[in-house]
Amino acid sequence: MTASGKGQDRRRIAFLGTGLMGAPMARRLIGAGFAVTVWNRDPGKAAPLAADGAVCAETPRDAVSGADVVITMLTNAEAVGNVLFERGTVDAMASGATVIDMSSIAPHFARDHAARLAERGIHHVDAPVSGGVVGAEAGTLAIMAGGDKDVIDGLQDIFAPMGRVIRVGPSGAGQLAKLANQQIVAVTIGAVAEAMVLIEAGGGSPAAFRDAIRGGFAESRILELHGKRMVERQFAPGGSSSNQLKDLNAAMETAKALSLTLPLTAAVHTEFGAFVANGHGEKDHSGLLLHLEEKNGRPGGKQ
């Protein structure tokens, strides 16, 4: 019987990667009654989950031993490949288990991982998320899944504590949807930031401007959350600019492979590249405002 066919009371989950997003996601699964073993490269980021009922493993191989479902929430494709394959973690997994990769990586990596796991009789679902730390803590993430429909359907009870899952296509399609999501996020952040620069340069109040357009056609979660960050100038990372750039790099590589020209994405990709290159990779992606202010000779939003 595959992992997707077992009842919740018998499922064991290994959660690999308990950083800003992974920790609250793992905590949601523990709260839903699953037996969860966690591992993180920095053990200090996994240890607090023990108080919630998780078992902390010293190695990823230890974490996945006996697990029905392995969830990865790691930095990039290189990290996922290293943890699953180069460190031999996959050798400790049983045939019939399922890997749910909730990291954000390029679609071709997801398809490669799926093929390599299939050779061992292990299912693979690429299921990146959107919603940030707030969504991870509240269990309201948007989960974009690629893979076999029956496998994804059989994982509904595992996805449910973390958010709303939609299958968007075959293997790799979840990651493609995440790239498209990140295009929208990045371009919208850029638009809101440019509007803030324009308003302040003309003598208006960014805070009042944001309030004035709420509920109109420009309303969005970006305006609500990241617009608020810009007004309050609070740029501690929920989603870092380096991760935003990583996703934009993948989006541009994918567009090139598909012979597409995406001028808006290309423009914001250039600006995030410069922002990160100037040492701001660990600032929240709403911090692109700082880059645009600097570019216009208005550091701190002032002349």
Catalytic annotation, residues:
178
CA distances from 173 to 9, 112, 180, 212 (A): 30, 13, 11, 38
What is the C-alpha to C-alpha distance for residues 225 and 132, in angstroms, rounded to an integer?
11
What is the C-alpha to C-alpha distance for residues 184 and 189, in angstroms, rounded to an integer?
8
**Which residue shows structure tokens 């996945």?**
64
Strands 163-169 vs 98-101: parallel, antiparallel or unpaired: unpaired
Task: Report the alpha-carbon angle 175-129-159, nearest 5.
Answer: 110
Strands 141-146 vs 129-130: parallel, antiparallel or unpaired: antiparallel
168 SS3 class: strand
- CA quadruple 242, 248, 251, 253: dihedral, nearest 10: -80
The answer to whether the CB of 113 falls within 8 A of the CB of 140 is: no
